[in-house]
Chains A and B, each alone.
Chain A
């Protein structure tokens, strides 16, 4: 393969483009390089192996309170020049907005996060392929009822990013990530159930193949014999995998852009009690445990720990530099983007302050309820503007403080507002997942179950 560019070379390219700025314009250039390996195993063979390298450059131009943007999927100089010309042309059609502009250095130094493991690059591809094969083998042998594996994947990425602006921002980041994921198929009496397992880390040594395999097998086999439950209102326990998705959506409603554009449920609620007092919701991209951790944001500013909800009270919205200017405040280092988009605003690494009890202890305190281990249709049944929340679900009934029969083909429904207030307990089992939020067992007082 080609020689991999150093992150300093990315910065050189970004600075070179920035130097082309005219006197009256601001430029922001983001340069990304990523190398990926992806291996999929099936029936003891390598089904596919991808070894790939991607490059991209995004150029944002601001002048006369207007902005324009263009990107290209290469470092080729002509293509980057074309992107700059396109961005300038695009700018001329935008409506002026006095808050437009690239970020200004704010004096906050990025925390030195250790997110890069050279060892990931040093490992031969064979070792990675072997992990996918081992994952499939372990999953198939985890339980006699596991009759198939839909996919058993190893994948990793090594990515480097540089951001440079005419305002003097020069930021670089470099990180590695690796993940094992597996979908197991359990079969009994002609019925099939699927379950997944995963393990994430920054290098091979972080990955726990056995746990991923065992989790997938357990999740699939314990659903065998699942029935559709009757409709009613029940106490619901959200498994960490599910709660992380819910917390990510809740965090998303606290974006300064959503607030300013009249699309946030919580727009006028700063300082109000919007959640149960047990809940302290934090977005902290400087937490190295988060796979989404990053020392700098999409505009090159330092990320920081932002407490969003403090003991149930709404404390803060997150901002990029543009929404901060509009709100008369400072950026919270929450610009999110890829090289092919302008900086948006969003949470990156949401978590909560965990409670004292583990999932078993929490379940033991529930007479009649349901443990939800998976949800579906979050994009179709959850409306983050109105707050309506309705998702497909599967899991296990809780009877007399113990996990009982499996249930499937039902929905759980409420509103985001109510769910935050109806939160009864937070588990001690906080874990970082391959998404922008950590998961933890959450007990929600009452949700509507729709089944038979």
Chain B
């Protein structure tokens, strides 16, 4: 069982297939039937373990296993999709026929599909497979972090910690002959603290997540992480209500990735572009941002949360420059959209699991560094808000209006950080905000691991920024 989790390898160094290539070829042949233009089998086997420490005790450890295949058949503009947990030749054939019927390509002859030899990059090396680490070690991390958070101050009244790892093996084959596979290992740890004071309760959160194994804890000190989460909550006990209205906003290093993810990232996804559901449709080659802005989506960043060797359509991950010195260079593409435009995918076709259709998704989205000094950016701001940690966000891609939450922020008064302020959302308009960025520093950092939701599917994403300033955003607080 444990060996199974690490993934055995063949003589060529590749993972042994979950489903034999000849079975995949047969499945694709029956999926193609007559008239189909494209068929794909996506096989997934995912093991996960999560441990929850709450209220001073190990509340539960959960193990999960999901294994199955998603079958996609394209006829004309129609995609038919079916999935199955039965990976036997018969189970796959049934699902292939269901997908073909859904796409109206079913029945008739069998269209023979021949698969190439396995291609694509090798999976990332993992030093310590989480599945091989005793659960007691995982639990002891939680216990240590709990003590550290609680000992940091008597006002810390509640601590929730979560450890989670997953080992996801995927195999992709399609009617163009592609045959490839990957093993994606993720390890994460999060701390949420509640602090109580005269003015009520406040919360603080910290999390780390990487596409590596248990060796991540050689570098990450969970006690330090816990103390930082506690500090955030304690700090906010003294927080004043957030201001209300338009003002300059400085976002600290690592904190601002969500801003770009929402302000323009989603709007640069080719599926939304094709439907003119994005304010960025038809704007390639145009100036869309201040000239100091270079925005990149990069699925190849080693160890980052949105990293993978191949996407969920079997394309190798890529580094894609979306905005180059203010000019919109390209959108992000999945296989289907790219195929219709006669180009290749940018390696952004992702899905939550085998039960879902792939679509265009971001990976690790980051803003390139500038040459400003972070302290000077603050010193140069008379009255505004400094956001040290952002929560999630949301965007209406049709209008470009987006929000993002601030979970640690301060007033800037007379060029200095003053009072911490309470949680709230900021709102802006993507295209306007990109033009309103007037300073970027050189202190780049990646932010916390995130889960991006689109059309009901969640996928892991990363983001990062140096310190930056937007001359004008609306802060959604209650103070005049």
Interface residues of A (CB under 8 A from B): 1-2, 42-43, 45-55, 67-74, 76, 79, 82-83, 86-87, 89-91, 93-95, 97, 125, 147-151, 183, 185, 192-194, 228, 231, 260-263, 265, 340-342, 376-377, 379-381, 383, 385-388, 390-392, 394, 408-414, 448-452
Contacts and interface: CB of A to CB of B under 8 A. Distances in A.
B424 A388 contact: yes
A112 to B, nearest CB: 32
B424 A46 contact: no
Nearest to A374: B396
Contacts of B57: 94-95, 97
Given A49-B78, A381-B424, A390-B477, A93 B135 contact: yes
20 contacts: A42-B77, A43-B77, A50-B357, A52-B83, A54-B85, A82-B1, A87-B63, A93-B135, A193-B398, A262-B194, A341-B62, A376-B395, A379-B405, A381-B423, A381-B476, A386-B203, A386-B422, A392-B427, A413-B242, A414-B478
Given A125-B102, A387-B200, A392-B401, A94 B276 contact: no
Given A2-B94, A376-B402, 16 more contacts: A45-B77, A45-B78, A46-B77, A51-B98, A70-B63, A90-B63, A94-B60, A376-B403, A377-B393, A380-B405, A380-B425, A386-B203, A390-B425, A409-B427, A414-B478, A448-B477
Interface of B: 1, 51, 54-55, 57-68, 76-86, 94, 98, 101-103, 135-136, 139, 157-158, 194, 196, 200-203, 236, 242, 244-246, 272, 275-277, 279, 355, 357, 390-396, 398-399, 401-405, 422-429, 455, 474-478
A450 B474 contact: yes
A408 B432 CA distance: 14
A90 B404 CA distance: 37
A409 B59 CA distance: 42
Contact of B54 (A76, A193, A261, A391): A261
B102 A411 contact: no
Which of A49, A54, A55, A341 is the most central at the interface, judged by chain B CB atoms within 10 Å of its CB?
Answer: A49
B139 A410 contact: no
Nearest to B392: A380
Given A49-B79, A380-B394, A150 B277 contact: yes
Nearest to B140: A93
Given A49-B78, A410-B427, A70 B394 contact: no
Nearest to A56: B66
Contacts of B68: 73-74
Nearest to B357: A48
Contacts of A448: 244, 477-478
A359 to B, nearest CB: 23
Contacts of A51: 81-82, 98, 101-102
Contacts of A386: 200-203, 236, 422-423
A48 B115 CA distance: 25
B403 A380 contact: yes
Contacts of B475: 450
A48 B38 CA distance: 14
B478 to A, nearest CB: 4
Contacts of B394: 376-377, 379-380, 392
Contacts of B94: 1-2
Contacts of B1: 82
Contacts of A149: 275
Given A89-B135, A262-B157, A450 B63 contact: no
Given A50-B102, A385-B202, A392-B427, A93 B403 contact: no
Contacts of B202: 385-386
Contacts of B396: 194, 376
B230 to A, nearest CB: 14
A80 B475 CA distance: 51
B61 A90 contact: yes
Contact of A42 (B60, B86, B101, B275): B275
A261 B203 CA distance: 13
Given A411-B474, A413-B478, A383 B60 contact: no
A68 to B, nearest CB: 6
A150 B61 contact: no
B303 to A, nearest CB: 26
Contacts of A71: 62-65
A390 B51 contact: no
A23 to B, nearest CB: 23
B97 to A, nearest CB: 9
Given A377-B405, A413-B477, A79 B425 contact: no
User: Ordered nearest first, which 4 A-B pairs have the shortest CB separation?
Assistant: A411-B476, A380-B405, A381-B425, A390-B424
A151 B83 CA distance: 22
B77 A55 contact: no
A392 B425 contact: yes
A72 B64 contact: yes
A380 B451 CA distance: 13
Contacts of A42: 77, 275
Nearest to A393: B427
Contact of B203 (A228, A376, A383): A383
A452 B246 contact: yes
Contacts of B135: 89-90, 93
A79 B399 contact: no
